[in-house]
A and B are shown apart, each in its own frame.
Chain A
Amino acid sequence: MKHIISLLMENEAGALSRVAGLFSARGYNIESLTVAVTEDPTLSRMTIVTAGSDEVIEQIIKQLNKLIDVVKVLDLNDGKYIERELMLVKVKASANFKDEMKRMCDIFRGRIIDVADNSYTIELTGSCSKLDAFLEAIDKTAILETVRTGASGIGRGDRILKI
């Protein structure tokens, strides 16, 4: 099953490679990984999307906790959470695609943020599955390029990951 794991870690050189190294060394898969500094400049917040059986996820959490630079780990799937990802898609905007692209963009609440002679760049945020759905919905032959940030996750309401 897919899990979104949030963690706080020391904002130190090498911390990211320790997490990435752990996943590759133990054969865990990473669907996406995002990391950036928090309001406290000594801490980074990371969101990892991974998949595995309950036992594997339990081991992943334990192994992450074992890393010396990791301050706190939270499996967002243990409660209610919100997940958002940003995607930029460059699509063909030739006559036969123009209208479809504008329409799909509206339906998915995206925005066209760059218009060139033959292409549009669309910005879209949402859950990973919404972004997947968008790519499914448009004509595949129209896609020139996609770039996704990977998911960021946050607990709902009182679920706060802080030290």
Chain B
Amino acid sequence: MFRVHHLIVKNQGFMDSQNNNPTSASKDVINANPTITGAEIVIRCLNEEKVKFVFGYPGGAVLHIYDEIYKQNGFKHILVRHEQAAVHAADAYSRATGTVGVALVTSGPGATNAVTGIATAYMDSIPMVVISGQVPVPAIGLDAFQEVDMVGVTRPCVKHNFLVKDVKDIAATMKKAFYIAATGRPGPVVVDIPKDITAHLAEYIYPKSVEMRSYNPVLKGHSGQIKKAIKLLLEAKRPMIYTGGGLVLGDGSHELVKLARALNYPVTNTLMGLGGYPATDKQFVGMLGMHGSYEANMAMQNCDVLIAVGARFDDRVIGDPKDFLSKKRTIIHIDVDPSSISKRVKIDVPIVGHVQSVLSEMNELLAAEKTTNDISAWWKQIDEWRGVKSMVYANSDIVIKPQYVIEKLWEVTKGEAYVTSDVGQHQMWAAQYYKFDKPRRWINSGGLGTMGVGLPYAMGCQFADKDAQVACVTGEGSIQMNIQELSTCAQYGLPIKVIMLNNRYLGMVRQWQEFFYENRYSESYMDSLPDFVKLAESYGHVGMKITNPADVEGALKEAFAKKDKFVFMDFITDQDENVFPMIAAGKGLADMVLKKDNKERHED
């Protein structure tokens, strides 16, 4: 049952607003049993959840809520320029801080504009509450102005959603929404609130806790399974630790580092998991998957005991599952979501639980073990694979190599920046060449691969950590998908640094066309790019265009020295550069195509 918590309303300003509200009940009702509007209840709930920022955009259906925002100062509302960006910014805020991000949009077009953002967060399991306005209850279903069935539209891309049809349900629904978003396998929750409900009056009762008979996420892993896992790990000859976004989201990084160091086993991270294990550590073999390092993919393919932590054997990670399973290995899988286990690959030792709790239990068991496991032969093999140097590229002093820009970015920011990226080649180069030593610093759309996230993601990070260095690595294609946010960045004085790798191509598309469509570059060249320097300047930002490799480092230093300025850096990069290594879709992990100078290689 809900334990309830009453709030006494003393605020004079609030009473005034009540009296001015045409829909408010008589004063004696307020005195007897304080009631407030649904809109104010929404605000109170957000305050109760200690929300610091709400990213949003107003419109008819949420005007009552916006009126209450005007009167409060519990959180800061960030006015974006497109609802998609509001949701992305809230999503990044959550990724950077580990708290629930909040976005607020109006009904109809506001709501549909938010959908890409919601789906992006859903695919990466990001906890978020998105509040959408809805037409008044009596108008629902009548094709009213700006009506869209938000609960229906978002059903396949939310963890859960609610349509609130009674003002008395707002508080309990908000409580549930935050609880569902943040617990278990996290995800976005939509709360759709009809306009009339935000004007109706109700007593404000915020439940202290939530109990739902239908939703009980597991926390602790099965101790028998955990023991079994430790035993297998200690007997392994060719062990491998593979971690994903779930490790970062479950704040398990610290425990994982402890475990990996105690065992001295190799670690790889997925694209979503970067920073889960420090990239500069000697046990780190790099990112794995489609554009992963040679050593990471070979070790993954050839290990005999694999422990997967908060990772899901995605098609971009293991390629063809049949090929992956053609090699025998024992797999341990820790995940908070039972449905992630044995979804693509059969698991030998499933452990359902919160990664942090399971890993800490493993560390305790391991500390009590006397045995150690010598795997020097396996390390020797891995070092041989490392010798292939799959990440080496031929630098140039004529044309800027995109990889070089990222390497310098890492140096100039001392590896400590929040790096957001868009989607394309630049994303892969950022993942490959920026060495993330901390979790929650690499912010990208891994699951949905949404072009346009980069700039709003950078906004979310900058609000999350106002003094931090925030770099948005983007392409000239992606940046134009949410370019309007340059205006938001100006309004709030966000000192983001945009690192645009401008190859005058939808580079990733061009790369596939080069490899798989005999260089038929169908619609992957973009004409009529704006003068990005002038564009940035028109918003009051600093614009820089860098064409010479010799200027890359100096320009980056100059930009990051402008601590309170938004700097848009247009790096004119090599148009023909491709992302290597590469495993073609549907191929196996050992089927890596290396750089030209490395020549194509296949392992048995």
Contacts and interface: CB of A to CB of B under 8 A. Distances in A.
A62 interface: yes
B214 A70 contact: yes
Given A55-B346, A59-B343, A68-B180, 12 more contacts: A9-B214, A14-B163, A18-B155, A21-B155, A58-B342, A62-B338, A66-B337, A68-B159, A68-B160, A68-B214, A71-B214, A163-B213
Interface string A57-76: 01100110110111100000
Interface of B: 151-152, 155-156, 159-160, 163, 180, 212-215, 337-339, 342-343, 346
List of 6 A-B pairs having minimum Cβ-Cβ separation, nearest first = A62-B339, A71-B214, A68-B160, A25-B156, A62-B338, A68-B215
A10 B176 CA distance: 15
Interface residues of A, number: 20
A14 B152 CA distance: 9
Nearest to A68: B160
Nearest to A8: B214
A53 interface: no
Contacts of A55: 342, 346
Interface of A: 9-10, 13-14, 17-18, 21, 25, 55, 58-59, 62-63, 65-66, 68-71, 163
Contacts of A65: 338-339
Dominant SS at the A interface? Answer: helix
A38 to B, nearest CB: 14
B322 to A, nearest CB: 14
A13 B474 CA distance: 43
13 contacts: A13-B163, A25-B156, A55-B342, A55-B346, A59-B343, A63-B339, A66-B338, A68-B159, A68-B212, A68-B215, A69-B214, A70-B214, A71-B214
Given A13-B163, A18-B155, A25-B156, A66 B214 contact: no
A63 B346 CA distance: 17
A161 to B, nearest CB: 14
A163 to B, nearest CB: 6
A97 to B, nearest CB: 46
Nearest to A64: B339
Nearest to B189: A68
A25 B346 CA distance: 22
Contacts of B214: 9-10, 68-71
A55 B345 CA distance: 10
Contacts of B160: 68
Contacts of B156: 21, 25
A1 B180 CA distance: 34
Nearest to A69: B214
Contacts of A66: 337-339
Contacts of A9: 214
A71 B213 contact: yes
